[in-house]
């Protein structure tokens, strides 16, 4: 394969950053295609931990061209901070990506406060309001943001609408001069990176480059196919890559769905396989299951293969990457969800109605655990028999080959079982 999508199959935080960073070693280009700084990708290299919220996970590699595509919503403050921190050598930002402003964050926080029991538990980064403005055709593209006159004109329109909304919500108005001062400065700092990334990506494809399209969040947080309304405001699936990057659908060779060896979720919304006992505590501590963006403790559940099959069907997965297998060492027995039961009837799919999804019970397969340390193993053959059988059961229940798995946080603890990339191009 030369053009691969890496997406989460669950509710985010599956370790996509680590898998992308691993694949980036053989890639020429890493492209993020949706979401914004609600994402938190952790990469551990030689024991050092790096957290990225906006930049693609190739940012730590000087040989990689990092692309932020048109499907993203970009907070310039976060971007400037990450550019100054990580100093990516090659960065391209789509002129069609949308800009997140302070009023987007303020409205995100305000709407959540009004929802009371219907709270979504957003990351409060203004993601929903920024995408809503894009759909309402009052957002601002990067191309406008970096042209001073166009920026001032569009900001004027936006603030007329936003300050009208603010007064109705009883919020203080947003000060135009302050935004012009700070965001005008960000625009100057970002300007040189802004370009037509669709043309650049098509050029890279036609010159044979290896490309990783990196999803943020997870398939179950997809605005269309996820557990609505407990979702994000974009589509973190492989199916959304063409639209969100400006390339043809048939130019994608395959999609790797990343899944933890168990399940986690942050924020509200159903988690059918949830456990809240001493085992959940053990997994949370060993797997450091606290949000990269918000620090919230993640909810823990057994691995749910109905969820993975849903991600496969709606997003078109061709293989799996299983992360954090080592976290399950020492837990015996283990359980895997193979189907749901809704009102006494077995079902193999995720109901569209959140009320129905709230009522599903899980059917669990009991598996033997293992006690052997696996964090140093280098090949599949070295895995304990029960760890192998755990992975084989995932393959059987999802109908997907496990192409990569990881047994620890470091890049060197990721094992490629089935070769993914064709040799890297030397065409750069
Ligand atoms: P938003 O994307 O900030 O609007 O949040 C909507 C939902 O998606 C909330 O439940 C968040 O916790 C969740 N979410 C957003 N980004 C991530 C992520 O990167 N990992 C896990 N959950 C996320």
Does one domain contain both 109 and 54?
no
Cα gap 185→179, rounded to integer Å:
10
Domain boundary, last residue among 192, 211, 242: 192
Residues whose CB is less than 8 angstroms from the CB of residue 273 and which lie 6 or more positions away in sequence, other chains included:
263, 301, 302, 303, 304, 335, 337, 362, 364
With respect to residue 74, please indicate whether it lies within any of the assigned structural domains.
yes
Atom of ligand 1 nearest to the CA of 41: 19
The pLDDT of residue 408: 94
| Residue at 125 is within a domain | yes
Residue 243 scores a pLDDT above 90: yes
Mark whether 41 is an active-site residue: yes
Structural domains in the chain (count): 2
pLDDT tens digit string along 414-425? 999 999 887 665
Phi and psi angles of residue 379, each rounded to the nearest 5 degrees, phi first: -145, 160
Residue 137 has pLDDT above 90, yes or no: yes
Atom 2 (ligand 1) nearest CA:
232
Same domain flag for 213 and 335 = yes
Residues 35, 13, single domain; the answer is yes
CATH number of the domain where residue 36 is located: 3.90.170.10
Residue at a domain's end among 175, 192, 209: 192
Q: Do 34 and 69 lie in a common domain?
A: yes
Average pLDDT for 281-299:
92
- Structural domain that includes position 188: 98-192
> Does residue 330 lie within any of the structural domains?
yes
pTM attached to this predicted model: 0.94
Instruction: Give the pLDDT confidence of 25-75 residue by residue, as tens digits.
Output: 899 999 999 999 999 887 777 778 888 999 998 898 899 999 999 999 999
CA 102 from centroid of its chain's CA atoms: 23
Distance 268 CA to ligand 1 centre (A): 10
| Residues 157 and 55 grouped into a single domain | no
Same domain, 34 and 76: yes
pLDDT at 248: 97
CA distances, 284 to each of 180, 291, 376 (Å):
43, 11, 21
Q: In this predicted structure, which of 166-170, 261-265, 292-296, 304-308 has the lowest mean pLDDT? A: 292-296
Q: 151 and 281 in one domain?
A: no
**Does the structure show a pLDDT above 70 at 427?**
no
Tokens encoding 248 = 């043809």
Is the pLDDT at 101 greater than 90, yes or no? Answer: yes
Q: Tell me, in angstroms, the distance from the centre of ligand 1 to residue 293's CA.
A: 9
CATH number of 185's domain: 1.10.300.10
Residue 401 lies in a domain: yes
**Residue of 101, 75, 78 lying closest to 179 (CA atoms):** 101
Is residue 427 situated within a structural domain? Answer: no
User: Given ligand 1 and candidates 119, 267, 268, 269, which is best to mutate, with the most ligand atoms within 8 Å of its CB?
Assistant: 267
Residue 428 has pLDDT above 50, yes or no: no
The residue contributing the CA closest to ligand 1 atom 11 is 122
| pLDDT (average), residues 162-174 | 96
For the stretch 361-398, pLDDT in tens is 999 999 999 999 999 999 999 999 999 999 999 999 99
**Closest-lying ligand 1 atom to the alpha carbon of residue 13:** 20
Do residues 170 and 227 share a domain? no
Q: How far is the CA of 208 from the centre of ligand 1 (A)?
A: 34
| Distance of CA 270 from the midpoint of ligand 1 (Å) | 14
Q: Is residue 426 part of a domain?
A: no
Q: What is the rounded CA–CA span in Å between residue 304 and residue 339?
A: 8
328 and 383 share a domain?
A: yes
Residues with CB under 6 A from ligand 1: 11-13, 38-40, 120-123, 125, 127-128, 216-217, 221, 230, 232-233, 266-267
- Are residues 116 and 73 part of one domain? no
229 and 371 housed in the same domain: yes
Name the domain boundary from 192, 218, 236: 192
* Residues 40 and 175 placed together within one structural domain of the fold: no
Catalytic annotation, pick one of 41, 53, 98, 104: 41
Instruction: Show contacts of 58-63: CB within 8 Å, 24+ apart.
Output: 58/20, 58/21, 58/24, 58/27, 58/29, 58/30, 58/88, 58/212, 59/30, 59/86, 59/88, 59/91, 60/21, 60/86, 61/21, 61/24, 61/25, 62/89, 63/28, 63/89, 63/428
The contacts of residue 256 (CB under 8 Å, 6+ apart) are 4, 5, 6, 7, 19, 317, 318, 319, 320, 321, 403, 404, 420
């Amino acid at each position: 394969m030369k053009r691969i999508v890496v997406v989460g199959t669950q509710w985010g935080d599956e370790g996509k950053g680590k898998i992308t960073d691993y694949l980036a070693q053989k890639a020429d280009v890493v492209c993020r295609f949706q979401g914004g700084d609600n994402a938190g990708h952790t990469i551990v290299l030689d024991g050092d931990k790096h957290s990225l919220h906006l930049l693609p996970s190739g940012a730590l590699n000087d040989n990689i061209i990092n692309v932020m595509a048109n499907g993203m919503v970009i907070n310039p403050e976060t971007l400037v901070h990450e550019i100054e921190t990580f100093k990516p050598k090659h960065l391209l930002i789509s002129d069609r990506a949308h800009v997140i402003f302070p009023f987007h964050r303020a409205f995100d926080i305000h709407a959540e406060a009004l929802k009371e029991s219907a709270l979504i538990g957003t990351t409060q980064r203004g993601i929903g309001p920024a995408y809503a403005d894009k759909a309402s055709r009052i957002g601002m593209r990067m191309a406008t943001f970096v042209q001073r006159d166009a920026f001032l004109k569009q900001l004027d329109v936006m603030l007329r609408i936003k300050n009208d909304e603010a007064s109705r919500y009883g919020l203080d108005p947003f000060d135009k001069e302050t935004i012009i001062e700070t965001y005008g400065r960000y625009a100057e700092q970002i300007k040189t990176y802004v370009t037509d990334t669709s043309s650049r990506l098509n050029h890279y494809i036609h010159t044979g480059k290896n490309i990783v399209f990196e999803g943020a969040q997870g398939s179950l947080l997809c605005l269309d196919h996820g557990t609505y309304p407990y979702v994000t405001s974009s589509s973190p699936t492989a199916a959304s890559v063409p639209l969100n990057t400006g390339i043809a659908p048939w130019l994608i060779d395959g999609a790797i769905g990343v899944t933890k060896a168990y399940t986690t979720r942050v924020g509200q919304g159903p988690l059918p396989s949830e456990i809240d006992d001493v085992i959940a505590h053990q997994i949370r501590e060993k797997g450091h299951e606290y949000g990269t963006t918000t620090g919230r403790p993640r909810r823990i559940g057994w691995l749910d293969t109905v969820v993975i099959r849903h991600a496969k069907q709606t997003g078109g997965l061709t293989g799996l990457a299983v992360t954090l297998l080592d976290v399950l060492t020492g837990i015996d027995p283990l359980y895997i969800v193979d189907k749901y039961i809704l009102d006494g009837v077995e079902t193999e799919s995720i109901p569209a109605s959140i009320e129905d999804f709230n009522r599903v019970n899980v059917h669990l397969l009991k598996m033997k655990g293992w006690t052997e340390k696996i964090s140093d193993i280098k090949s599949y053959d070295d895995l304990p028999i029960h760890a192998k059988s755990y992975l084989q059961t995932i393959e059987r229940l999802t109908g997907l080959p496990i192409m990569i798995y990881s047994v620890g946080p470091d890049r060197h603890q990721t094992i490629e079982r089935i070769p993914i990339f064709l040799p890297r191009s030397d065409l750069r």
